[in-house]
Amino acid sequence: MSSAHGTGHALAILEGKTFLRVGEAADLLSVSRWTIYRWVEEGRLRGTKIGKSSLRIFRESVVSLIERNENDVTDTYLGSGH
């Protein structure tokens, strides 16, 4: 996915998907695959195992993570007193 289109465009492409592969989630969030695994372990993202070893990430948990962090950034940089 091209970063020139921005995150909103990437989310629109994934709209019909319920699950994302670890690599898709990593690309969308511009982090490593290992970060995705760690965030699932920490509870920041929700995932499920498919079969013995394939992890899938719930698309909605990725969207929620983006929205939570977007709000945190807005509060930090544009909030009152700054």
pTM over the 0.85 mark: no
Please determine, for residue 62, whether its predicted confidence score (pLDDT) is greater than 60.
yes
What percent of the chain is modeled with pLDDT above 90? Answer: 51
Question: What kind and span of H or E run contains 63?
Answer: helix 59-78
The domain of 59 spans 3-78
Q: The CATH number of the domain where 26 resides is what?
A: 1.10.1660
Q: Let me know: does 21 contact 36? Beta carbons within 8 Å.
A: no
Q: pLDDT digit string (tens) for 49-60?
A: 998 889 999 999
Q: Let me know: does 13 contact 1? Beta carbons within 8 Å.
A: yes
If one counts the domains in the chain, the total is 1
Q: Provide the 10 A C-beta neighbour count for residue 13.
A: 12
